[in-house]
Structure 1
């Protein structure tokens, strides 16, 4: 089996690349070309990760321009010359379509930067390309397969190629784990940054909703949608946030190995799940935090205050999806012929062999049946979700237990990719949905692996706690350093302890 291990300049993390570029140890053109070569080797050939949908034909010219700025002493910021990838539901002015993984948007070349991309570009970051994703950010059907799109095919987890890469920011998570770029931007409505970061063994940060502009991103829910950085280190995520956040916050200033000292941590025991390996890793992570001077406070249960909370979460998304997608489609170029959700449903029916070869479009159809955002059902659902996850959810837990942050496992161990049944996640763990529905910040950091499959630990806070949450995760990361490198195994049976147990 050929070696796909990252070596040389592509093995460096984003902060290391910033230093190497500044020291003149590598040029942006050399770095960009090295990533393009590695993408050919791993994404198009070899294990065929299929994590990238399109490459920016302007990447190398942009890199040369960055090198010229550096030679002239005119660098735009720390990210100048650093190649990054964008999830393919995020617009950039480069000549690449923004497809959300659907052939219906194959001609959606808008020629405009979303504000977050403009922020990255203003610091000189090189937009290397667009990443594959769960089609329509995993909001087409109640059954689905994470990481599949009609445009890009099925994304593969680089740790074990038959394992679920999670989604919907599947390609972003895989590309970063496989060192195909220094960092990537993902988006999340409910778990779509955290889950793929968790199972691919990288750092993922979901900011407070509204901190990063939602403009120029194919939407699901304005109440929950946000973009966020996906990198191999917490400092890398902080550097990307500095460029993506239009405010003047410097997320690197609060990074300290002592950030957890004196902190009271709410341990979400109800989110541990039943997998004994995850529990063991989580307990080990808690021991690291305690050794750093934190006090652990167990929280055994979370009971939403609103009786209709769980029945409200999906209707809230369906109402907002119909409204916001129709508004987005109206802004697309004339080359895009599907201008409404109703027309999109018809397009899928006509092109079912390509667009829906495995699963249907029940979420599209349910959303189309919803009324306007003035409907009492929508207003009640929105109020119930916010009240249960904010005032009577995360904020109540922080206050009642007098803690500074909440921690839990980030999710379960990745199951196999299943094109018959779709996503089936055994022994679920994590509290990501609460943070997503509240719109509150959530960071995942690797805490090891289970038989070669990565798992992470989550740090969750209240609205606006973004810099603090990043700092807490950094302190844990520096004390643990448990990010696993991918080994591109075909399956778990390629591991000696598994094959020995299965062979008689």
Structure 2
């Protein structure tokens, strides 16, 4: 679940905003809760020496600016190994993550997987572009024992599916090292948005934005935070409506929601299966393209579409009519226009006006997803949970342990879908998908554009519901406004992203456009972190 446009706040969103701590306490430990389970790190053989300080210092310095192909090149010529890279991240997680809370669990076999990757490379076998590269996974993505899949919830604390999710099997087949499970908004935001507008779970506590006193976004905040804080190379998050795009933008990293079903949802805990979509989170468009190529159902070579000239002469529609009126966005729209001009794009206006009215049933639809999909999944593991009412009662029986951040979203949704039949819920999904696709198709046609541009997750409900692809690229820091303006702050300094929306199935082209924009803008922010 993701945050919707501030002009169209849903009831649960309003409840969560009202419950937030004052903005000046963001990114502090006030309100933080202890982990229900501490991170356990894989043991090293007795006598294993510590990583040399000069290597750690070098990795601290260069890793935030290196792409996966560059890392792979260092592995190929023997300057780096997967074991060293994996150990570096594990040590960094051990030193930093008690504060940032980007992980719920570390893979106890991470070192063994890295050793296997190094051994294969030494034999001349490289399984793909992610061979030996550490990857974290949002913890609604299924991983078999010895790891768990909890969605951050105490009720699934010991849950380990019988098999890995389809995308996890693809990562393993491609030689990637599974580093661990990333924190999230519990059950993808269906319980509470927590302290910082996302990233709060009973198991791991509340994620903190490494860029400073800013929201983390939901629900893929652990994935975005780990990438931003250099606690993994890349991560796989998931999107329902803004839940991958928002945290990526707010952490100044690249995040992509692919076209519907481009990445298999098999083995992913559902919220709204018509909307749910796993996708890559990375520091660069290059890395996002490589990760998508490994986890997609077609194994396409998205990196081949990355070109500095991808936007040359292309019509780009900026959704300025809906964005310009929001405080602080004028400066951002100018940055977008400047970068697009540098790419050689033809920039013009586009509009999705009226989308809130067209998709007004979305909140009810989400309530139906909680009732008929999310709690149905929980009930398949815990049969006593036969609906959201039973889940709410479970939380209420031990709120300090099971719901340390409250259950305002779940509470607001309890009655909302009580009279909605499953048949009507399914029909509503088909109707909303068609309406959202119609809105986007009309915007593309009217503007003559091949790609639309928004800010952060302002139009996520439209493209996520339509099943169209979107990608956010860092746009620097806000000079003011944004979501913090609704919380009594001027918003200055908060990371922000330019979000490009593509046509259905045009994921490769969209990555090419994003790459050209990224290279022209060069506005990524790197947080200052001292272990």
TM-score in terms of structure 2 length: 0.81
2:78 paired residue number? 24
How big is the shift at 1:314?
A: 1.3
Question: Who is 1:405 aligned against?
Answer: 451
Partners of 2:251 and 2:59 in 1: CA distance: 15
Q: How many angstroms apart in 1 are the aligned matches of 2:78 and 2:193?
A: 50
The 3 A distance-change label for structure 1 pair 62 and 339 is farther
Distance in 1 (CA, whole Å) between partners of 2:524 and 2:178 is 25
Shift of 1:158: 0.4
**CA 1:152–1:143 in structure 2 vs 1: closer, same or farther (change >3 Å)?**
closer
Partners of 1:374 and 1:16 in 2: CA distance: 51
Task: Measure how far apart 1:340 and its partner are.
Answer: 5.2
Is the 2:321–2:349 contact (alpha carbons within 8 Å) kept by the matching residues of 1?
Answer: no
Q: Which residue of 2 aligns with 1:252?
A: 303
Counterparts of 1:208-247 in structure 2, within 5 Å, are 208-247=259-298
Check whether the contact 1:137–1:167 (CA below 8 A) recurs between aligned residues. yes
Residue 301 to residue 248, structure 1, CA distance change in 2 (3 Å): closer
* Residue 314 of structure 1: aligned partner: 363
Local SS of the residue matching 1:459: strand
Looking at structure 1, the residues matched to 228 and 295 of structure 2 have their Cα atoms a distance apart, in angstroms, of 21
Question: Is 1:439 matched with 2:439?
Answer: no
The correspondence of residues 32-43 of structure 1 with structure 2, limited to 5 A, is 32-43=86-97
1:142–1:86: structure 2 CA closer, same or farther, 3 Å change rule? Answer: closer
Q: Distance in 1 between matches of 2:166 and 2:451?
A: 30
**Residue of structure 2 equivalent to 1:463:** 504
Distance 1:367 1:217 in 2: 25
Tell me, what secondary structure is at the counterpart of 1:435? helix
Residues 4/165 of structure 1: CA separation in 2 closer, same or farther (3 Å cut)? farther
The Cα shift of 1:337 comes to 6.6
Q: How does 1:300-449 map to 2 (within 5 A)?
A: 300=351, 302-304=353-355, 309-332=358-381, 338=385, 341-360=388-407, 361-363=410-412, 365-366=414-415, 369-375=418-424, 378=425, 381-391=428-438, 393-411=439-457, 430-449=458-477
- Alpha-carbon distance change, 129 to 142 in structure 1, aligned in 2, over 3 angstroms: closer
Secondary structure, aligned partner of 1:440: coil
Once the 2 structures are TM-superposed, how far is the Cα of residue 5 of structure 1 from its aligned partner? Answer: 11
Aligned positions of 1:478-497 closer than 5 A:
478-488=519-529
Contact 1:183–1:232 (8 Å) recurs in 2: yes
1:432-489: CA deviations, max 9, x gaps?
A: 2211121110000001113442111011012101111111000111122111101259
Q: Give the superposition deviation at 1:379.
A: 5.0
Question: 1: distance between equivalents of 2:75 and 2:501?
Answer: 33
Q: Greater CA deviation, 201-210 or 162-171?
A: 162-171
Aligned residues: 458
TM-score (norm 1): 0.85
Question: Which residue of the partner structure matches residue 151 of structure 1?
Answer: 203
The corresponding residue for 1:90 is 141
Pair 1:4–1:464, CA change in 2 (3 A): same
Per-residue Cα deviation, 1:296-346 (whole angstroms, up to 9, x for no partner): 111255124x96x343101222223322224423554x7x87565444222
Aligned pairs for 1:125-274 (under 5 A) are 125-140=176-191, 145-160=197-212, 162-274=213-325
Task: In structure 1, list runs of 5 or more residues that go unmatched.
Answer: 412-429, 490-504
List gaps (5 residues or longer) in structure 2. Answer: 1-55, 479-491
For residue 7 of structure 1, give the secondary structure of its aligned residue in structure 2.
helix
Q: 1:107 to 1:27 in 2, by over 3 A?
A: same
Residue 383 of structure 1, CA deviation: 4.3
**Contact 1:282 1:447 (C-alpha < 8 Å) held by counterparts:** no
Q: 1:290 aligns with which of 341, 344, 369?
A: 341
1:453 match? 494
Contact 1:58 1:94 in 2 (8 A): no
Task: State the SS of the aligned residue for 2:209.
Answer: coil
**Greater shift after overlay, 255-264 or 339-348?**
339-348
Contact 2:470–2:499 (CA under 8 A) maintained in structure 1: yes
Contact preservation (8 Å) 1:6, 1:178: no
The 1-side partners of 2:417 and 2:401 are apart by 22
